[in-house]
Amino acid sequence: MPATSVLDLIGKTPLVEITRFDVGPCRLFLKLESANPSGSIKDRPARAMIDAAEADGRLREGGTVVEATAGNTGVGLALVASRKGYRTVLVVPDKMSREKILHARALGAEVIVTRSDVGKGHPDYYQDLALTITERTPGAFYANQFANPANPAAHEATTAPEILEEMGGDLDAVVVGVGSGGTLTGVGRYMRRASPKTKMVLADPAGSVLAPLVETGIMGEAGSWAVEGIGEDFVPPNCDLSLVKKAYSIADPESFGASRDLLRKEGILAGSSSGTLLAAALRYCREQAAPKRVVSFVCDSGAKYLSKVFNDAFMAQEGWFGRARTGTVRDVVINRYDEGSEIFVSPNETVASAFARMRAADVSQLPVIEGDRVVGLVEESDLLDALVAAGETMAEVFRTPVGEVMVSRLETISADAAVADLLPLFRRGLVPLVMDGAKFLGLVTRIDLINHFRVRDR
């Protein structure tokens, strides 16, 4: 029988064994929560929290659902709320991926982006701001996934029984992350009752306070991390860390790399938190002396992170591509021509083509390359000057070859020059071409240099 609502498709997600990684003596299975309607595990608690609020009268017709979220819970709430006719207001930290924000807005949610550099108690902290919005909005319901008991209850009632059934009742460990604590607590409670031998293993981004707290008993200072959706600077009320038997801190480069490896080796498109879980699960499996059956999660689809996890430029900007640092201008170049990541245009292409490429790549200048030789540079100011000069024949400019509007007098700098040598060029308003001997390495901009200083000593 076909489903009568997309909400009926939440849960009952598939489980797949991964076979192309070194898992030691163990077998490792991933539950593909990315198969939920909005693409993440958070559809489960989103539906449960809204259903519970309707049942006890906190959410009535014409009401507003408000949530502080790393993105996926918000998208899940927006999906459920839109199907039930509620308004949704989401408060998200500014490190969230563009795809998740656009997804939530496409579902009709109002998304407020706030600071990620402040902690609890600050008025701009995403949870504090969401609570303030709730208090000043008539008919608003604050979902509060961090303390809402319907969150872990959803996983205790659905996620955990599905896993145990799919594993034929034979399960040694479950590797989970903690954002709100719902998955850990719900699955852990069920396993403690239904499969006491099953251990709960925590995968945590390096910088989060949770894994160190489990391993040492000490509540340390939170750092920063790029992985989205898991890791915390406090212990959420819904998070029962007493269920955890082992915890791993996973650095961002390893998490992002694991997500990319999962796609390359197994064909599974997963997000950054799934990379954290996979990296921790692999460590756990390889440490075992005897065979174990282990389950972890693909928490959400990697389609939500194409601009980050699967974007070579982003990885290079973070210094995660393993390039040796030389202390020279070479280190500042993000998009390299010899690696195929430099966006360029040829002189016989049209201005319209150059503009489309600039807009798609979110850059304001392009090298003009003929063969393997740089023959010019076209900047947005060049295009604007040509359009203004054309007056009423402005439309003709877009059909003009780039070679007619490009700047052909080029400023170059050696890849082996000192980084400080870029500053005089930038003060003159120039975008220098970085040359590795006679070969073009790539362009370098002020933003590239600022980013270089940001990650240099990290």
Look at the chain and count its residues.
Answer: 458
Contact 220, 213 (CB under 8 A): yes
DSSP code string of 415-458 = TTSBGGGHHHHHHTT--PEEEETTEEEEE--HHHHHHHHHHHT-
Whole-number Å distance between alpha carbons of 110 and 115:
17
Sheet hosting strand 140-142, strand order edge to edge: 110-114, 87-93, 64-68, 140-142
CA 306 to chain centre: 8
Q: Which of 198, 239, 171 is nearest to 15 (CA)?
A: 171
Give the relative orientation of helices 351-361 and 380-390 as an angle to the nearest 10 degrees.
140
pLDDT tens digits, 160-185: 999 999 999 999 999 999 999 999 99
Q: Which of 31, 38, 40, 42 is catalytic?
A: 42
- What is the four-CA torsion angle of 342, 348, 351, 355, rounded to 10 degrees? -20
Whole-number Å distance between alpha carbons of 184 and 191:
10
Can you give the pLDDT at residue 249? 98
Contact 319, 374 (CB under 8 A): no
Q: What is the mean pLDDT of the chain?
A: 93
Can you give the pLDDT at residue 458? 66
Q: Which of 38, 249, 255, 273 is catalytic?
A: 273
95 is catalytic: no
The pairing of beta strand 439-443 with beta strand 433-436: antiparallel
| Ordered alpha helix ranges (H), 209-334 | 210-216, 252-266, 272-287, 312-317
In the numeric block, which tokens belong to residue 201?
A: 């293993």
CA distances from 245 to 167, 196, 203, 300 (A): 20, 12, 11, 25
Whole-number Å distance between alpha carbons of 279 and 270:
13
Whole-number Å distance between alpha carbons of 309 and 293:
28
Mapped onto helix, strand or coil, the DSSP state of residue 381 is helix
Can you give the pLDDT at residue 136? 95
Phi, psi (rounded to 5 degrees) for 206 = -60, 130
Which helix (H) or strand (E) covers residue 247, if one does?
strand 244-250
Which residue positions in the chain have pLDDT lower than 50? none
Three-state helix/strand/coil letters over 143-189:
CCCCCCCHHHHHHHHHHHHHHHHHCCCCCCEEEECCCCCHHHHHHHH
In the numeric block, which tokens belong to residue 248?
A: 């791993």
Specify the amino acid at residue 71.
G
In the numeric block, which tokens belong to residue 91?
A: 């408060």
273 is catalytic: yes
Whole-number Å distance between alpha carbons of 286 and 22:
8
In the numeric block, which tokens belong to residue 195?
A: 């499969």
pLDDT tens digits, 370-426: 988 999 999 998 899 899 998 888 889 999 999 999 998 889 999 999 999 999 999
